[in-house]
Amino acid sequence: MIRIAIADDHPIVRSGLVSLLGSVDDVAVVAEHGSAEALLAWLADNECDLVLLDLQFGEGRLNGAEATRRISASGGPAVLILTTYATDADILDALDAGACGYLLKDTPSAELERAVQAAAAGEPALSPIVQQRLLRRILDPATAPTQRELDVLRLAAAGRSNSQIADELYITIATVKTHLAHTYAKLGVTSRTAAIAAARQRGLFV
Amino acid sequence: MIRIAIADDHPIVRSGLVSLLGSVDDVAVVAEHGSAEALLAWLADNECDLVLLDLQFGEGRLNGAEATRRISASGGPAVLILTTYATDADILDALDAGACGYLLKDTPSAELERAVQAAAAGEPALSPIVQQRLLRRILDPATAPTQRELDVLRLAAAGRSNSQIADELYITIATVKTHLAHTYAKLGVTSRTAAIAAARQRGLFV
DNA sequence: TGGCACCTCCACCTTTCGGCTGATGGCGGG
DNA sequence: CCCGCCATCAGCCGAAAGGTGGAGGTGCCA
pLDDT in tens, A153-169: 999 999 999 999 999 99
pLDDT in tens, B48-64: 999 999 998 888 889 89
Q: Does the structure show a pLDDT above 80 at B12?
A: yes
- pLDDT of A129 reads 81
- pLDDT of B82 reads 92
For B82, name the nearest residue in chain A, comparing CA atoms only: A12
Q: Which of A8, A15, A17, A23 to mutate to test the interface with B (most CBs of B within 10 A)?
A: A15
- Give, to the nearest 10 degrees, the angle between helix A88-96 and helix A64-73: 20
Measured between CB atoms, does B18 come within 8 Å of chain A?
Answer: yes
Using the Cα atoms of residue A156, residue A161, residue A164 and residue A170 in order, give the sign of their dihedral.
Answer: positive
For A189, name the nearest residue in chain B, comparing CA atoms only: B159
By residue count, chain B amounts to 206
The answer to whether A193 contacts B191, with C-beta atoms less than 8 Å apart, is no
Poorest-pLDDT segment among A80-84, A177-181, A200-204, B11-15: A200-204
The answer to whether A13 contacts B12, with C-beta atoms less than 8 Å apart, is yes
DSSP assignment of B113-156: HHHHHHHHTT--EE-HHHHHHHHHHHH-GGG---HHHHHHHHHH
Nucleotide nearest A172, CA–C1', reads: D9
User: How far, CA to CA in Å, does B130 sit from each of A95, B30, B100, B177, B202?
Assistant: 34, 28, 13, 32, 12
pLDDT in tens, B107-122: 888 999 999 999 988 8
Report chain A's C-alpha Rg in angstroms.
19
Q: Does the structure show a pLDDT above 90 at A48?
A: yes
pLDDT in tens, A17-46: 999 998 888 999 999 999 999 999 999 999
Q: Residue B29, SS3? A: strand
Q: Which residues are bridge partners to A6 per DSSP?
A: A32, A52
Q: Which residues touch strand C (CB under 7 A)?
A: A 161-163, 173, 177-178, 180-181, 184, 190-192; B 146-149, 169, 171-172, 174-175, 177-179, 191
Q: How many CB atoms lie within 10 A of CB A200?
A: 18
How much is the average pLDDT of B168-175? 92
Q: Is the CB of B162 under 7 A from strand D?
A: yes
pLDDT in tens, A68-88: 999 998 888 999 999 987 777
